[in-house]
Each structure stands twice: as structure tokens, then as C-alpha cells.
Amino acid sequence: MKRLLAHFSEQGGDAMEVAQCQQAPHERAQLATLAVQFGLLASQGSDFHQPCAWIELGRKLWLPAGVEGVWHSWEAAAE
């Protein structure tokens, strides 16, 4: 994963998905650590496929402290 993220970042990638709705807290923390380590912004999972009774859209998608949401770069680009 580290080699992939290093290459991704070197090629101009600037963000990675950190939060998913049905994710263990330790997985989210690990992804956040990798995002910070490689200087990547963080996104939240939004890959909607179909309505599901057990998944509420937009729920449990908090970002851990220390990572910056990718949407902050959009605001800067719009100015």
C-alpha cells in the first residue's frame, strides 16, 4: 500500500478515500495515517450502488483528526 501511495503521490495524485460507512475504527485511523504520511487529502466514501436497508447514506463518514478533507482544495481553487 505504501509503494502504491508513494507512486500515486509522485504522479500528482492528491487525495485518497479514508472514510467508509461500514469501516472498523482502526482501519480508518490507519488510512488517515497513510494520507498524512504521503501528503494526501482525505475523501469520504460515496460509492452508492443501490438502496440498502442496513446502510444510511452519509452516515458514519467522519474524518479522523489530522486529515484535511479534499473539498477544502475545491474552495481554494474557486477563489
Q: 40 lies in a domain?
A: yes
Q: Are 15 and 41 in contact (CB under 8 A)?
A: yes
Q: How many domains does the chain have?
A: 1
Q: 67 lies in a domain?
A: yes
In the prediction, which pLDDT does 20 show? Answer: 87
Domain residue limits at 34 = 2-47+58-78
pLDDT higher than 70, residue 69: yes
In the prediction, which pLDDT does 49 show? Answer: 66
pLDDT in tens, 17-66: 999 888 899 999 999 999 999 999 999 986 666 666 666 666 678 899 99
Q: 52 lies in a domain?
A: no
In the prediction, which pLDDT does 48 show? Answer: 65
Q: 53 lies in a domain?
A: no
* Integer Cα distance of 1 and 16 in angstroms: 12
In the prediction, which pLDDT does 53 show? Answer: 64
pTM of the predicted model, to two decimals? 0.81
